[in-house]
Amino acid sequence: MELDRMDENDWKYHGEGNKSLVVSHVQHCRVLRLLKYPAEDSENPPQTAEQAFRQIQNIVDFTSNVMSCLLGEKFVHSGEVVRLPLEFVRQLSIKIQHQRPAWRCDKVMDIYSGCALCLPNLTSPTLHQPTPTPPLCIEIKPKCGFLPSPKHVSKDIKTRVCRYCMHQHYKVANGKWKRRSLYCPLDLFSGNRQRMHFAIRHLIEEPQNNLKVFKGGQCIYSSKEGSDESPDTNSLLHHLRPYFLRGNNRVNGHMTTKAVLNDFIQVLGNALLSAAGGDGGQVTDRTGEGRSFCEASLFNRERIRHGSQGLPTNNILSRILQTQMLDSLDIEGLYPLYCRVEQHLQDFPKDRTGLQIDGPYDQNFLEKVQKCSMEDDGSVEYAAAKVHQYRIAMTAKDCSIMVTLVPSGEEEDDDEENEKARAFSSSVSVLDLDPKPLDSVPRQLRLDQKIVSCYLRTGGTLP
């Protein structure tokens, strides 16, 4: 990529989240991830070009020095900051505007700084040989996979119903989504195949912003916020059918729709369970802790036939879960420590740098977080380390997993058991690993209170 000769016609709209907009190169397996600002600020960028550069460099550092160590470097791509010609960015923003979903247009793409994050395009893997059908990529935003400990929470419901399930009621009550999703992260993170199958099925039924499917680099399945219609599952199955015309589920040479869906979920579940970032083997079984079931999940516990499986230790889901669990005090237990840090920073503003509140996200930062003692000695260092841990956990609760399934060109074999596993080779990456700012802590506390009180008012009564 020659940065001085950029042409907007080489790039196309790829997707966006709440904080950034992504364009992909039409030929090379690259994406550019650009910052977004609230539309009110569009005439007046909230930060200078140098601050934008710093913000993106912070993302790169946080991803490579902190998240990559916690999640496993095999899964993480930190990318690099690039400076783009402003004219290119302006033309690009005009070109892609009409492809953006209306519900995302409360924010505009940053056209002032010329800075972006350049990453490999995870939905268009480089292929070593041609494949019969284009690669499939499934993006899952799994959200928080555990219940907080009763020690730190003021409302008992938080120890029984998971945050995602409570948040669903809040989102439906506020009109953000028309229907509640029956996906429960605790099922996905359980490591139990039946529960995982159940979770993935509900992600497909109501993807919201937790599931997207890409075929050959194009998004073919996702939800539209506030829309009355569910996404078209039949069209997804139509895309998937050619990938699953093997196996033992054929009825007179034709696979039922249900069989296509089951095979797809099974292949995806296998990919999630097999993705290990080091020596695997051991199993983390948390069922004994009584914190691994959410009362709002419709999965019937009695259906677990094969005892309790758990997640293999170095597995991607297990690494994400362990990182999420750095939030050991819950927002309620953390908030007083956040206040201690804030008070200290008001009294000693210069300590902001030494405490590494806004970075740099280097080795030293990671060590502070990993060596943080269990006991509160009343110091600001302890409080800052716990706040850092909480912010890292928030990143792990907000990240996405990208599963790539590359169909193998191999001939079919009669051995039906192994067929599905061999029909694809899979790989897994984690994306969206931005550090969360300090002021997200008080916002999280307010949101938590709203979600819990909404659930206590309406919980269980919504469809």
Residues that bind Mg ion (CB under 5 A): 17, 19, 432
Find which of Mg ion, ligand ATP, none residue 202 binds, CB within 5 to 8 Å per kind.
Answer: none
| Nearer residue to ligand ATP within complex by CB, 211 or 329 | 211
**Residue 208 or residue 400: which is nearer to ligand ATP going by CB?**
400
By beta-carbon proximity to Mg ion, the closer residue of 143 and 388 is 143
> Nearest approach, Cβ of 301 to ligand ATP (angstroms)?
31
The partner in contact with residue 180, picked from ligand ATP, Mg ion, none with C-beta cut-offs of 5 to 8 angstroms by kind, is: none
- Closest residue to ligand ATP, Cβ-based? 17
Shortest Cβ 366–ligand ATP spacing (Å): 21
Q: Which does 15 bind (CB under 5 to 8 A by kind): Mg ion, ligand ATP, none?
A: ligand ATP
Nearest approach, Cβ of residue 275 and ligand ATP (Å)? 17
Q: Give which of 97, 109, 116, 93 is closest to 33, Cα–Cα.
A: 116
Sign of CA dihedral 378, 384, 387, 389: negative
Report the residue number, 206 or 432, with the smaller CB distance to Mg ion.
432
Residue 59: name the closest of 324, 341, 358 by CA: 358
Residue 431 binds: one of ligand ATP, Mg ion, none (C-beta under 5 to 8 A by kind): ligand ATP
Q: Record the tokens describing residue 188, joined without a space.
A: 């996905």
In Å, how far are 25, 82, 212, 345 from 11, measured between CA atoms?
4, 15, 21, 44
Q: Which residues bind ligand ATP (CB under 6 A)?
A: 14-20, 22, 31, 33, 119-123, 139, 212, 398, 400, 431-432, 434
Residue 12 interacts, among ligand ATP, Mg ion, none and using kind-specific CB cut-offs from 5 to 8 Å, with none
Shorter beta-carbon distance to ligand ATP: residue 209 or 328: 209
Task: Report yes or no: 143 and 185 within 8 Å, Cβ to Cβ.
Answer: yes
Rounded to the nearest whole angstrom, what is the least distance from the CB of residue 357 to ligand ATP in the complex? Answer: 21
Reported residue count of the chain is: 463
The CA-atom distances, in angstroms, between 212 and each of 63, 74, 255, 343, 346 are 22, 22, 24, 42, 43
Instruction: Give the burial string for 145-157 (b: 16+ CB within 10 Å, else e).
Output: bbbbbeebbeeee
- 28 or 303, CB closer to ligand ATP? 28
Q: Are 431 and 362 in contact (CB under 8 A)?
A: no
Tell me which of ligand ATP, Mg ion, none is bound by residue 163, counting a contact when its beta carbon lies within the kind-specific cut-off of 5 to 8 angstroms. Answer: none
Closest CA to 125 of 116, 117, 135, 115: 135
- Report what 25 binds from ligand ATP, Mg ion, none; CB cut-off 5-8 Å by kind: none
Smallest distance from Mg ion to CB 429, Å: 13
Say if residue 13 is exposed, middle or buried (CB neighbours under 10 Å; 0-12, 13-18, 19+).
middle
Whichever of 30 and 95 has its CB closer to ligand ATP, that residue is 30
Exposed e or buried b for every residue in 49-72, given b needs 16+ CB within 10 A? eeebbbbbbbbbbbbbbbbbebbb
The encoded tokens of residue 450 equal: 């709203």
